[in-house]
Structure 1
Amino acid sequence: MVELRERRAALLANRRLTWVFGADDPAAVRREVQAGGIRLRVHVPRAPVTSAAGRPIVLAFHGGGWCWGSPEQSRWMAGRIAARTGAVVVAPAYRLAPEHPYPAAVEDCWAALNWVVAHADDLGADADRIVVLGDSAGGTLAAVVALRARDEGAPRIRGQVLIYPVVDLVGLRGPGLGGIVEHYLGGDGSRAEEWAVSPLRAASHAGLPPALILTARFDPLRRHAERYAAALRTAGVEVAVHCPTLATHAYLTLPGISPASRAGLARVVTFLNQVLISRQR
């Protein structure tokens, strides 16, 4: 726990390094709202709405191994997505382990999805045009939310953007990874078999929305993204994969030091415009 607190403190301090992590986009307005006990960071484009139905919605889940992180660490990406797609980007501060082990994060992300649907009018948004997005642990949560929405028949998800996701926690090993999994699962490693922990282990991936999966050549978790892309394709899901050759894990949230971040963001924006705009009712 001491190491975890130190890492959280370091991450909080590093968020001030905008030359590394980027800053809010001036073309989007940022505000915070409360959804029950969940804090939501909302990015709204300054540009006028172009659809009578309202703006599309991107629900964005931050990374951090389910143990640290917050929506602030992805503000560079979130603000630019809002500005370049015209979408309302909503980023929840879901509960973190080990204080709040699984399924707390999953339940918070699911609650956030249902909150934006119920409050779409207040957001000036269209509840029928939603994409889930997440990076690293947030990518896992986005995949899980898409699966649950399919299984429950609502809300309708138009697409999923999974950025270097972790899709199978069974036997996950690596520097620091074992401890993260133990924290997230509350010490009960048997739960890694559940699809809401390891979305690769879902009984079926058929009927899921189109996916954009981002990874990187030097990402130690690259095989996760590749395996999930393969599983989706096998199930008949439309999948695009972006894998820059000179990048590693977390590159998309490090625009100050990773040239690949801008190309990755461009791919995300193109995908979002395709599924949110070209497929309107």
Structure 2
Amino acid sequence: MTKTAAEVQDRGVDAMVELRQRRAALLANRRLTWVFGTDDPGVVVHEAWAGEIRLRVHIPRALASGRPIVLAFHGGGWCWGSPEQSRWMAGRIAARIGAVVVAPAYRLAPEHPYPAAVEDCWSVLTWAVANADDLGADPARIAVLGDSAGGTLAAVLALRARDEGESRIRGQVLIYPLVDLVGLRGPGLGGIVEHYLGKDGSLAEEWSVSPLRATSHEGLPPALVLTARFDPMRSHAERYATALRTAGVEVTVHCPRLATHAYLTLPGISPASRGGLDRIVGFLRERLG
């Protein structure tokens, strides 16, 4: 029997209500796990705007100029999340390597489906370069970092920068990224792919959605790829690391045994998060000087 327009509309409203409830629940749960989630005392946090994109900017208190820049993209399946959920990691990276860490609140699906998040992250890169002097930063030393969906966005940014002749990105930190959305469905995913790309899923073939499907991975900056033994998306990180190595890209992989997806944003309950942070800091020090 054919669905009426009213039935279809009601189903869409129900889906949005469910998504908003999920966002609220996840935010409440995140707050409960922020045992070590306070901002680092060695860092000042400012709110800034890149056009209409809200930014959380972490700047070390110690006076300096020519600091490197780290662009940090939060996870959440392109449908939920905020830069606040990774504030402990962003603040500690800023303090430990003396970097300006810029974490954007990019637009979320389904209100703003693909390519909104990708375009927002590219705009933040452009903003960081244009405002480097005001930030006390060096626009020639930039790294991109992201976890889960944010890791996908970081990988896409590295590919786009290469294709557009932008050589400022010196390293990419990809934390349990989702790199191939073709066929990625399932009840445990909460409909994120459908929200992000639409129901037919045809856009999943695009490299700016599924970076594993890029024509070439040659000429990309060195990468630190983090996954976890009990991460159901572990194969994504492993396949991307293999693709980068095959293309001649320098790659380091870290896979803690007693961890699962999202462990780096759960410092209050996952001991592996601090070890992962140490790996990130070491990589960024090496790549950014």
TM-score of the superposed pair, with normalisation by structure 1: 0.95
8 Å CA contact 1:15–1:72 kept in 2: the answer is: no
Among candidates 29, 32, 39, match of residue 24 of structure 1: 39
Structure 1 residues 171, 18: CA separation in 2 closer, same or farther (over 3 Å shift)?
closer
Check whether the contact 1:114–1:155 (CA below 8 A) recurs between aligned residues.
no
Kindly state the Cα deviation for residue 8 of structure 1 after the two structures are TM-superposed: 1.1
Question: Which residue of 2 is the match for residue 127 of structure 1?
Answer: 139
Judged with a 3 Å threshold, the aligned counterparts in structure 2 of structure 1 residues 269 and 56 are, in CA distance, closer, same or farther, namely same
Q: Which residue of 2 aligns with 1:191?
A: 203
Q: 1:11 aligns with which of 23, 26, 30?
A: 26
Candidates 246, 250, 265, aligned match of 1:234? 246
Which residue is equivalent to 2:11? none
Q: Which has the larger displacement, 107-116 or 155-164?
A: 155-164
- Distance (Å, rounded) in 2 between the aligned partners of 1:83 and 1:203: 37
Could you list the runs of 5+ residues in structure 2 that have no partner in the other structure? 1-15
Cα distance, 1:176 vs structure 2: 3.3
Q: CA deviation at 1:23?
A: 1.5
Give the counterpart letter for 1:55 in structure 2. R
**How do 1:46-195 and structure 2 match up within 5 A?**
46-49=61-64, 54-177=66-189, 179-195=191-207
Distance in 2 between the 1:71 and 1:166 partners?
A: 18
**Is the contact between residue 15 and residue 21 of structure 1 (CA under 8 Å) also seen in structure 2?**
no
- Cα pair 1:172 1:178 within 8 Å, conserved: no
Deviation at 1:155, TM superposition (A): 5.0
CA distance in 1, matches of 2:238, 2:46: 36
Query: Residue 106 of structure 2 aligns to which amino acid in structure 1?
Result: Y
Per the TM alignment, residue 46 of structure 1 is displaced from its structure 2 partner at its CA by 1.3
**Structure of higher CA gyration radius:** 2
Q: Secondary structure at the match of 2:54?
A: strand
Q: Alignment length, in residue pairs?
A: 274
Q: Distance in 2 between matches of 1:134 and 1:235?
A: 22
Separation in 2, partners of 1:186, 1:275: 37
State the Cα deviation string for residues 69-96 of structure 1 (Å, max 9, x = none): 0000000100000000100000010000
User: Percent identity at matched positions?
Assistant: 84
SS in 1 for 2:39: coil
Instruction: Please name the residue that 1:35 is paired with.
Output: 50
Q: Equivalent of 1:201, from 179, 188, 213?
A: 213
Unaligned runs of 5+ in 1: none
Deviations 1:168-220 (A, max 9, x none): 00001333326110000033400000000000000000000000000000000
The answer to whether the 8 Å contact 1:56/1:88 transfers is: yes
* Cα drift, residue 128 of structure 1: 0.3
- Does residue 276 (structure 1) correspond to residue 259 (structure 2)? The answer is no
TM-score using structure 2 length? 0.92
Residue type of the alignment partner of 1:139: G
Structure 1 position 19, deviation (Å) = 4.0
